[in-house]
Amino acid sequence: MDNRLPSTKEMQAFIVTAEHLKFTVAAQSLNLTQGAVSRQIISLEKKLNIPLFHRHARGLSLTDKGKDFLPLVKQVINQMKSAVEKVSDIKPIIRLKVPSCITTWLLPQIMAFQQAFPDIAVELTSSIKHDINFAFESFDAAICYCTVIKDKNLSSQLLFEEYLTPVCSPSLLTEAQTQLSIEEMGQLPWLHATPQQSDWSLWLNEAGCASLTAKHHQNFATLDLAVGAAIQGFGISIGDVTLAASELEAGRLCQPHSLQVKSGKGYYFVFPKVTNNLTLQNLINWLDS
């Protein structure tokens, strides 16, 4: 093996290429030419005396050694960033990935956190995906919607459990109504956060009305889209009590039925056990308070 250590440019080129598995996309992300990125990867492979990628006609894939090397390189880069933050005036950054459905609940808390900790920046990215792969995604932490975190390489803290209940615009109820029976709800359109319509199925099963269905159904790609349609009066959605709290308090949503069902899932703050972002605990404590 070449005794010379890899350069930071070579390591960054490797990380970005491993994330995209295409030299062209990695080059665009790094603002380099495709040839420059390819040369950095070849130089790194020569120093290690191992291939890091399998080259295919339509892209790349990591070799077994490449898969082993990636988290180690990320750890080194993170340690370097942490060392720079400790001795410089650069503001620490927490790069946080979250599902889009949680942003309404999260944004006020992030804004308050930034006021309380002005020297810590939070770079927020929303996604329709509810999971995270820190080996391939450049985030310090994530909020994941799931059951329990079983990955031994991850640390996690439950922020809140999910409780499901129907929500709709108050405009769908008459002045004399504060609640609707399940049969009355069946006369209105049901808005679904997934094509599988699993939230409604879970709630109806707990209500003892598993066979009941609505006359009209509308599917959406995410929970926030379904609840957003409910706010506009297009029908009834199944929402999470915590996530819908601000809309319920403001009167933009109401609960036409009192039954709340625990889904068995929740929203977890997740981050690698091996991390050098010393500011994460401040954000965890804030969100959990």
Q: pLDDT by residue (tens digit) across 248-273? A: 999 999 999 999 999 999 999 998 88
Q: pLDDT by residue (tens digit) across 81-116? A: 777 766 766 677 899 999 999 998 999 999 999 999
pLDDT recorded at residue 85: 65
pLDDT recorded at residue 136: 73
pLDDT recorded at residue 57: 86
pLDDT above 60: residue 1: no
pLDDT recorded at residue 89: 60
d(CA 106, CA 122): 12
What percent of the chain is predicted at pLDDT more than 70? 95
**Over residues 49-78, mean pLDDT:** 91
Q: Could you tell me the pLDDT band of residue 288, with boundaries at 50, 70 and 90?
A: confident
- Domains (range + CATH), the chain: 8-79 (1.10.10.10), 93-150+266-288 (3.40.190.10), 162-263 (3.40.190.10)
Q: Are 218 and 141 in contact (CB under 8 A)?
A: no
What percent of the chain is predicted at pLDDT more than 90? 60
Greater confidence, 35 or 131? 35
pLDDT recorded at residue 195: 86
What's the mean per-residue pLDDT of the chain? 89
Q: Could you tell me the pLDDT band of residue 39, with boundaries at 50, 70 and 90?
A: very high
**Over residues 46-51, mean pLDDT:** 93
Q: pLDDT by residue (tens digit) across 230-253? A: 999 999 999 999 999 999 999 999
Pairing relationship of beta strands 53-56 and 59-62 according to DSSP bridges: antiparallel
- In order, the DSSP letters of 136-196 are TS--SEEEEEES----TTEEEEEEEEEEEEEEB-GGGS-TT-S---HHHHTTSPEEESSTT
Q: pLDDT by residue (tens digit) across 151-171? A: 888 889 999 999 999 999 999
Look up residue 255 and give its amino acid: Q
Q: What is the pTM of this model?
A: 0.69
pLDDT above 60: residue 5: yes
pLDDT recorded at residue 257: 95
pLDDT recorded at residue 3: 59
Where does residue 249 fall: left (phi above 0), alpha (psi -120 to 50 degrees), or beta otherwise?
alpha
Angle, CA of 94, 99 and 103, to the nearest 5°:
75
Q: Could you tell me the pLDDT band of residue 29, with boundaries at 50, 70 and 90?
A: confident
Q: pLDDT by residue (tens digit) across 213-228? A: 998 999 998 899 999 9
Q: Are 21 and 60 in contact (CB under 8 A)?
A: yes
Q: Could you tell me the pLDDT band of residue 75, with boundaries at 50, 70 and 90?
A: confident
pLDDT recorded at residue 281: 84
pLDDT recorded at residue 78: 78
